[in-house]
Structure 1
């Protein structure tokens, strides 16, 4: 396979070690994707098994998301001090151990605590996984491996609901977490053996003030988005308080980063307009994806009246489209300007979202599937070239930071998108209840997703105009 063949002058690992390191990183990524996708469908069963309310069980999902979001920037900074291998294996061990703890939990409190720990372990691995891929692969293959990574995530997303349903019906909810244990042990042993021990800078002081401010800023943003989506008077006041806290922490964080001798997140990375535009493009596109992934289940089930199983099948064309497009987009990004390929993909993605928003009142399943497939093809064409652009326009010593920024853009884009759908649904359902109001809210959400994607097209197009040279 070309990904694991060697050529004179290649950076990174030799072919055989590169293969094993890729298995370790991608196994870890698969676990994280499965865990996030499968747990949501198990919340009703978890609530019943632990004898808690449905509202309380939501913290099984939110605890993971909150702890991961609060620590992403911290782990991106620690990577340069501890080294990629040490931090990755620590996060993987923590994720695996806490997965076992989740499986053995006998109360909601214990399960939520284990999920918070699991989120910390997941953040330690996911924040630097793309940077590790850049370390173990030569530049000539960077776009291709990032395309394969996008393909893996899409495949895992498509398979996760079916695997989760099978485990729930045959073995029960603890096995959603227990399945991570053998996979985690294998990935951990491979990581110890083959991941390179890159140079570290342990002598540099750690920016504790910046770490605290980043955790407060990111955590408050997540909680504010969650509260704002509920849209009742009390929750809106809470959302405003958390939002103001996040804004104040953000201002103090930027002030601190400009003055710290060794900042948590070097702001000079954003001096590269190509890096900054790639980050903004990623944020806007994941806002769009977050909106769509929350809105479509309401469209499929509440408006069109499909069953949960049929709704899951209607979701399949989206990841299938990514699976078809991402590997080819990654290869093209190694030969042609990645920004151009990303922009084309975003245009296709926007067209697919507009087609979804224009679905008739009585749509055929094949018509829905075709429009979802177009969205997936566009997003698959966009994602890996844009990720390549971000990593390639950060210096190698800043790879860990760039990888962390990529993870933060993805996390907060999806959270913001989900919150916006909650606000739109609450507003429309306050005007009346019924299928008509829900259909209007869903269509408005899809139009908003299309608008966010058009904004991403604008950010991405600016890179094509500038045509600045890429860093090696």
Structure 2
């Protein structure tokens, strides 16, 4: 009998509810702030380029913290890391709301990103502790919903709050959810621990590698390109040193044991490709809508909504399909639909109606939803249960690496493509989705 079968259904529901709330908050934390950037810029009398770091700092901190937190989660326990991460996220939200200057706001967002990384790593890993193996896909489908729904509703929620209050309330709304921490601690079961002392040298190299790379990408289009390119190159060099150091370390943060499992490795690369395709589209579509269709920012936000909305619906269905069909088949179908939807966006009519856009982006959302849950299930169940923290860390890392790679390509493509930059980004997104489908297909032979 599976060891977690004995967990009472009521406690499972409470623990899962708390996990989904935390994951939803961390997802909302990255989606809700974008619409408030102009107001934040005016509030602090700062430039737009400087204000963008309110978003970049969150992503940078989360990326840097993922692997060290995954290592700590296995040593300290998922329950402790999740509860601590949620507490840090909530307290940092208070810091963001009351920050008197832009640098302090950016600093609070750095702390908030670290808390979000803890919630993401421990929360997803805990799904495998809470559910028996035969039900893991059901839990991961709920996780996909928790990430997709805030992404879909984020702009609407932000607009609603800003219509009656100032931007600090975007952060204050997180605070009441801190009450779920003691509920989670009471409801969550004990989890497997593997003592792994924190690797300080590896942590430093990891921070330099991801920090320099993400910082370089974030400044590629707004600063001196030579400095940005140098930061990216330095980040890649540090990553090489990090891999070399990890290969020699007795207990590495990089899960080389999991990478020896072909199913896990192929799932990671499939994820990188798909998330790169997603961010290429998400960043470029507003430019396409505002320049070609002459839509307002609010109309653009509503027009993009079919993608995450259909992802949320499809992810739940995909969780049930995963029990009956191989992940490679579902991912191939999903990524083919995503690539087709992006190419159909490239060939929009000269004067497209909003319906022309809606059904194409809905197709993208269906494809993305069919990919997400089966791929995450394959990644999380490829290794032993005791390595769930490491698998969850790589799951999140693949997502952030894909987003960062896609963001870098957007900057380069817009710099080179001129008026055709948005269309070129969609073509690149379709190419990444196709590469993801090819990578996923290889899993059928493993």
TM-score, with structure 2 as normaliser: 0.97
Q: CA deviation at 1:417?
A: 1.0
Contact 2:417 2:424 in 1 (8 A): no
Hey, what's the Cα distance between the residues in 2 that align with 1:251 and 1:415?
18
Query: Helix, strand or coil: the match of 2:252?
Result: coil
Could you say which residue in structure 1 is the equivalent of 2:105? 111
User: Relative to 1, partners in 2 of residues 1:412 and 1:371: Cα closer, same or farther, differing over 3 Å?
Assistant: same
Partner of 1:222: 214
Among 425, 432, 437, the alignment partner of 1:452 is 432
2:174 aligned with 1:194: no
The answer on 1:353 being equivalent to 2:342 is yes
Cα distance, 1:455 vs structure 2: 0.4
Q: Does 1:162 align with 2:142?
A: no
TM-score by length of 1: 0.91
Q: Distance in 1 between matches of 2:331 and 2:192?
A: 32
Pairwise CA distance, 1:96: 0.5
Give distance in 1, aligned partners of 2:200 and 2:3.
40
Contact 1:142–1:334 under 8 Å retained in 2: no
Cα distance in 1, alignment partners of residues 255 and 141 from structure 2: 27
Q: Does residue 1:463 correspond to 2:443, yes or no?
A: yes
C-alpha distance in 1 between matches for 2:417 and 2:339? 24
Tell me, yes or no, if the aligned pair for 2:288 and 2:422 is still in contact at 8 Å: yes
For 2:150 and 2:236, how far apart are their aligned partners in 1? 35
Task: Determine the structure 2 residue equivalent to 1:3.
Answer: none
Which residue is 2:284 aligned to? 295
List per-residue Cα deviations over 1:98-142 (Å, max 9, x = no partner).
101111112112211111111111111112221111110111111
- Residue of 60, 84, 97 corresponding to 2:91: 97
Q: Count matched residues.
A: 446
Determine the structure 1 residue equivalent to 2:362: 373
1:25–1:187 Cα contact (<8 Å) kept:
no
Structure 1: where are the runs of 5+ without partners? 1-6, 430-436
Q: CA offset at residue 21 of structure 1?
A: 0.5
Match for residue 337 of structure 1?
A: 326
Match of 1:432?
A: none
Q: Alignment partner for residue 34 of structure 2, among 37, 40, 45?
A: 40
Report the Cα offset of residue 8 of structure 1.
8.5
The question of whether the paired residues in 2 share the 8 Å contact of 1:275 and 1:390 is answered with yes
Give distance in 1, aligned partners of 2:6 and 2:246. Answer: 31
In the alignment, the residues of structure 2 paired with residue 386 and residue 11 of structure 1 have an alpha-carbon distance, to the nearest angstrom, of 24
Instruction: State the partner residue of 1:55.
Output: 49
Residues 277 and 196 of structure 1, relative CA distance in 2, 3 Å threshold: same
- 5+ residue gaps, structure 2: none
